[in-house]
Structure 1
Amino acid sequence: MNRWFEAKGENSDVVISSRVRLARNLTKYNFSHKLKNKDAKQMVDDTLMKFEKMSEFENYNSYNFENLDQFQKIAMLERHVISPFLTNQSIAAGLVSPDENISIMLNEEDHIRIQAFVAGSDMETAYKNADIIDDSLSNVVEYAYNSKYGYLTTCPSNVGTGMRASYMLHLPALSGTNKLNGLAAEIGRFGLTIRCIYGEGTRGLGDIYQISNQVTLGFSESEIIDNLSNIVYQIVQQERTARRQYISRKRVSAEDVVYRSYGVLKYSRKISIKDAMALLSELRMGLEQGLLKVTAKHGFTIYSIMIGIQPANLQLIAERELTEEEIDIERAKFIRENLPLIQ
């Protein structure tokens, strides 16, 4: 079964994924940051046991941090199965669907975090999938809910629907022309925020960015999704325009960059994460713009390679701890083995 990041969806030339995350807390316990270890363990163990007994999750994989080493946790983070916050928790557990598009985290910033991914721009389906899970869980646990304020959450900005919606975008043209700083200020006026997925600064590794809502109180789920989707659609059009303008002015140079990127990726024996992400970003744009064509491979996407070359996932494949140089060697090998041939 293909995982969500091994598939393409609507507007996938720019939009990598749509994600909905729901924050929920239980009436029986204090918020996670106020839980003592004994209570946190009881909350995690009891809740996980209830969820594992539900027929809806009979095909899901469950995990408990008691049984995972640090590399396994980080590898799950690299695949977006769990959050950075959960990675730093000593007591945590959860459930993951076979294609990893649905994840339920226990003892995150809130007691329960539900997240649903869909490839491409399809926020409605992401929300529908998360909502179905949310309704199922509410049958076996009691959520902390106030008739005036909505779902009660650790962070005040999540109170209300408890929903954060986000799109993951590939924006090489906009980031390459230094337009993202102005864009960040502009979308902030609409209650949205933009951040790098990999790395920090104005231009993240691989030119991958996440745009999400900041406030949930006072807005319905549909209002949050509509506002976010309308803004993201405009950004998608801006990125496409910037790509077309670049190629129309410098087509030969653009083709040269793409073919060089492919050559380095296909034949390198050692490559750093910084260089690999930059080259994969250039290759992804070239493929999406038709500057280069490759033989179709089942489940192949550039983003699946970007995830696969992250350090912890490479060490899981190797089944041992690797030195920094060995990671660079394994990264080059992974790319060679997974990059399709030019048509």
Structure 2
Amino acid sequence: MSEEGGVSLKENLLTYYDKLQCDPCCNSLLKQNFTKDVIEEIGNKVTNSGCTLSDCIKSGVENPDSSTGIYAADAESYTLFAPLFRPIIEKYHGSIKHPFVDFGNPETINFANLDPTGEYIISTRIRVGRNVEGYPFTATISRDQQEALETKIKEALTHFDGDLEGTYCPLPGMDDPTRDQLVEDHFLFQQGDRFLQSAGGYRNWPHGRGIFFNKTKTFLIWINEEDHLRIISMEQGANFDSVYKRLMRGIKILEQHVSFYRDDELGYLTFCPTNLGTTIRASVHIKIPKLSSQPNFKEFCLGLNLQVRGTHGEHTDTKGGVYDVSNKRRMGLTEIEVIREMYNGITQIIEKEKSL
């Protein structure tokens, strides 16, 4: 029987089970689906890269206020520990079946500017997460694997040209002026999220991590943050069209040099199961003081399949009626369908703000 520090894997999981069930404040998807039958069925299994079910649920146990409570320690976790992952994924996404990749035809896509006067939308940002085949996810990757992965990605970055051509800055040894500028631009990812910390997301920090950005800083890639890659297209204003098409071009170039984990049912595989499917998070920082003061503001956004956060990300506050509004659905839709749903939702938010 596999053991962790002299305690069997199942015994350790039963301790986790008791802790979750005894916490009246915990209502995570993990708690709802983590049963003794699940422990009996998959509690002693270990993936080929050495990941256990304990690795996947540790964050949810240490942070009972987590809404989901589970991370995939590696790509195989999604299949080996499917009796726990699948019901959580289906509950969160409302689907367990994802369509084929379809970003749409860039020649026919034409998103009009939603806010040409700049009265409401401050900035637009679209990102995707990707994990590279052959490497464990962030929680269990070794230093040597991180270094090899960073080298592989750096080589792929040399194939960007034109407006995508840019500079790679590794986090270790970053000089003060570069660091200060990236902080000022809100580009520098850092430690600090306790949910990610407990999940092992800062393993070997800051080794093997870095940031790539083009000359205008409208195209960025985070390396070995939460996922192996976070590919980001962004700019000031409300030009969805240019932001989306830039992202499409960047992904297409990367796919010619790097292979990414993807499952026929779950879509692109990510460290956090909430990002599965297209992995797309399209967001705007939008100033809506009238609408946001309404008691049903967040419910209104949810009705449009949109999610509201503070302007500095999840679990942060906001000021002056400015919010980060993004798509909630990532699975069960194609990439172009996600963007259209987001675009149409923001259109309705602006119309509602104008009417108040």
Distance 1:22 1:198 in 2: 18
- Asked if 1:68 is matched to 2:174, the reply is yes
- Asked if 1:42 is matched to 2:148, the reply is yes
Question: 1:121 is matched with which residue?
Answer: 238
Distance 1:234 1:73 in 2: 38
Distance 1:207 1:70 in 2: 33
Question: 2:353 is matched with which residue?
Answer: 239
Q: Kindly indicate which of the two structures has a greater share of residues assigned to helix.
A: 1
Aligned residues of 1:18 and 1:119 also touching (Cα < 8 A): yes
The SS at the match of 2:278 is: coil
Q: Percent identity?
A: 24
- Asked if 1:230 is matched to 2:354, the reply is no
Could you tell me which of 297, 303, 326 is aligned with 1:212? 326
Question: 1:182 is matched with which residue?
Answer: 296
- 1:60-102 CA-to-partner distances (Å, cap 9, x unmatched) read 1220001226785465244232445699641311310111111
- Asked if 1:160 is matched to 2:274, the reply is no
Aligned residues of 1:77 and 1:84 also touching (Cα < 8 A): no
Aligned residues of 1:24 and 1:152 also touching (Cα < 8 A): yes
- 1:227-263 CA-to-partner distances (Å, cap 9, x unmatched) read 2222211221233344xxxxxxxxxxxxxxxxxxxxx
Task: Give the drift of 1:159.
Answer: 1.4
Could you tell me which of 134, 139, 142 is aligned with 1:33? 139
Q: Which amino acid aligns with 1:61?
A: T
- Asked if 1:196 is matched to 2:302, the reply is no
Seen in structure 2, the aligned counterparts of structure 1 residues 226 and 72 have a Cα distance that, compared at 3 Å, is same
Question: 2:125 is matched with which residue?
Answer: 19
The SS at the match of 2:296 is: helix
TM-score, length basis structure 1: 0.60
**Structure 2: gaps (5+ residues):** 1-113, 194-201
Distance 2:315 2:125 in 1: 23
Aligned residues of 1:82 and 1:103 also touching (Cα < 8 A): no
Seen in structure 2, the aligned counterparts of structure 1 residues 104 and 56 have a Cα distance that, compared at 3 Å, is farther
**Structure 1: gaps (5+ residues):** 1-7, 243-343
TM-score, length basis structure 2: 0.58
Distance 1:23 1:202 in 2: 21
- 1:119-170 CA-to-partner distances (Å, cap 9, x unmatched) read 3223232121111100000111111122332211111122111211111102
Question: 1:257 is matched with which residue?
Answer: none
Aligned residues of 1:14 and 1:239 also touching (Cα < 8 A): no
Distance 2:289 2:279 in 1: 32
The SS at the match of 2:297 is: helix
Task: Give the drift of 1:51.
Answer: 1.4
The SS at the match of 2:186 is: coil
Bigger mean CA deviation after superposition, 158-167 or 36-45: 36-45
Q: Which amino acid aligns with 1:40?
A: Q
Distance 2:252 2:156 in 1: 14
Seen in structure 2, the aligned counterparts of structure 1 residues 35 and 56 have a Cα distance that, compared at 3 Å, is farther
The SS at the match of 2:135 is: coil
Seen in structure 2, the aligned counterparts of structure 1 residues 66 and 81 have a Cα distance that, compared at 3 Å, is same
- 1:242-299 CA-to-partner distances (Å, cap 9, x unmatched) read 4xxxxxxxxxxxxxxxxxxxxxxxxxxxxxxxxxxxxxxxxxxxxxxxxxxxxxxxxx
1:324-339 alignment, distance < 5 Å: none
Task: Give the drift of 1:224.
Answer: 1.3
Seen in structure 2, the aligned counterparts of structure 1 residues 202 and 236 have a Cα distance that, compared at 3 Å, is farther
Seen in structure 2, the aligned counterparts of structure 1 residues 23 and 199 have a Cα distance that, compared at 3 Å, is closer
Distance 1:49 1:116 in 2: 20
